[in-house]
């Protein structure tokens, strides 16, 4: 009799657990906002939300409106890939907004054109916020998955673009590589180190310019989908024809933020990938 009660208890416990399972499948999403030839993205998985870059200051009103429309009131962190103004320019307005932000992350490496203080760190200090620094090999908390920092592995003294944080997100059966503004030299550094993973989605580096997205990088990543954040009106050579042809040659479907009103939204649900213009 005791054994039968134990068996019934186990069955009931199992049924209760099934009933408690979430009705919605696990999900990871990336929204790449249309902010011209600049970068600003919202990466989400479960309860985790990161804003990656903040575009220029003039774009922040739109970005803030879009985030509110998505019911985003809290960020686990803001990740600034590097210190070009089209990536960090909106940080001051973000920090003065009502958006709650837990952490401010920056690349551990900075190469100014002149002897100048890191503008992102300077902005953080003025707002009484602590700056935290990332480099290749580190990870950040990511609900239901992993968020790895692939690069940079060392300081690039030639161009600030090559100090870009390169991120790899994996969750919900999907994978995304976010290339920042890295150009050929940072690509080569990461490829030689053997740290570039395959990824189903590639956020194309440096706005699709011709100084990035080598055939070697595409061979390593083999993306199904590529997203390019740029404005041909602002810079006619983006995206470069070579980059478009290289992506097409891999059978990669290409999406450009300039063709969207709000941006491009990528969603993984239990391994199923959907991409839509918003």
Stretch 71-76: mean pLDDT: 97
Dihedral pair phi/psi, residue 36, rounded to 5°: 75, -150
Amino acid 62: pLDDT = 97
Cα atoms found within 13 Å of the Cα of residue 278, Cβ hemisphere only = 16
Pick the closest to residue 88 from 127, 61, 123 (CA basis).
123
How much of the chain, in percent, has pLDDT values that exceed 70?
91
Classified as helix, coil or strand, 184 is helix
Using one digit for the tens of pLDDT, what is the confidence trace for 249-262? 999 999 999 999 99
Amino acid 115: pLDDT = 65
158 or 66, which is more confident? Answer: 66
Angle in degrees, CA 139, 197, 135, rounded to 5: 35
- Cα torsion angle, 5, 9, 15, 16, sign: positive
Classified as helix, coil or strand, 107 is strand
User: pLDDT tier at 17 (50, 70, 90 boundaries)?
Assistant: very low
How much of the chain, in percent, has pLDDT values that exceed 90?
88
> Residues, the chain, total?
278
On whether the CB atoms of residues 257 and 31 are closer than 8 A, the answer is: no
Stretch 178-194: mean pLDDT: 98
Using one digit for the tens of pLDDT, what is the confidence trace for 31-64? 999 999 999 999 999 999 999 999 999 999 999 9
For residue 255, give every residue at least 6 positions away whose Cβ sits within 8 Å of its Cβ, in sequence order, or none: 225, 226, 227, 228, 264, 275, 277
Q: Above 50 in pLDDT, residue 5? A: no
User: pLDDT tier at 1 (50, 70, 90 boundaries)?
Assistant: very low
Classified as helix, coil or strand, 141 is coil
272/83 Cα distance (integer angstroms): 34
On whether the CB atoms of residues 118 and 155 are closer than 8 A, the answer is: no
Using one digit for the tens of pLDDT, what is the confidence trace for 118-158? 999 999 999 999 999 999 999 999 999 999 999 999 999 88
Amino acid 20: pLDDT = 41
Q: What is the mean pLDDT of the chain?
A: 91
Stretch 178-190: mean pLDDT: 98
Q: Above 50 in pLDDT, residue 174? A: yes
Dihedral pair phi/psi, residue 51, rounded to 5°: -100, 125
Q: Above 70 in pLDDT, residue 3? A: no
User: pLDDT tier at 21 (50, 70, 90 boundaries)?
Assistant: very low
């Amino acid at each position: 009799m005791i054994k039968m009660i134990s068996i019934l208890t186990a069955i009931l416990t199992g049924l209760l657990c099934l009933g408690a399972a979430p009705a919605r499948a696990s999900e990871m999403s990336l929204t790449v906002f249309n902010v011209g030839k600049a970068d600003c993205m919202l990466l989400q998985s479960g309860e985790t939300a990161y804003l990656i870059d903040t575009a220029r200051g003039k774009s922040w009103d739109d970005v803030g409106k879009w985030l509110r429309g998505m019911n985003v009131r809290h960020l686990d962190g803001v990740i600034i890939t590097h210190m070009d103004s089209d990536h960090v320019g909106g940080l001051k307005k973000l920090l003065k907004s009502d958006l709650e932000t837990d952490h401010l992350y920056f690349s551990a490496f900075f190469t100014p054109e002149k002897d100048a203080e890191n503008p992102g760190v300077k902005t953080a200090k003025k707002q009484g916020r602590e700056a935290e620094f990332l480099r290749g090999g580190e990870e950040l908390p990511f609900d239901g998955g992993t968020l790895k920092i692939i690069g940079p592995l060392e300081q690039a003294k030639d161009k600030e673009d090559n100090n870009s944080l390169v991120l790899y997100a994996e969750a919900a059966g999907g994978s995304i590589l976010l290339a920042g503004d890295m150009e050929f030299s940072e690509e080569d550094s990461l490829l030689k180190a053997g740290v570039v993973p395959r990824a189903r989605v590639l956020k194309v580096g440096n706005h699709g310019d011709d100084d990035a997205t080598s055939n070697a990088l595409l061979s390593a990543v083999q993306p199904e989908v590529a997203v390019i954040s740029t404005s041909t009106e602002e810079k006619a050579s983006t995206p470069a024809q070579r980059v478009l042809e290289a992506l097409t040659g891999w059978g990669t479907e290409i999406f450009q933020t300039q063709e969207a009103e709000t941006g491009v939204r990528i969603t993984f649900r239990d391994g199923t990938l959907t991409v839509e213009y918003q």
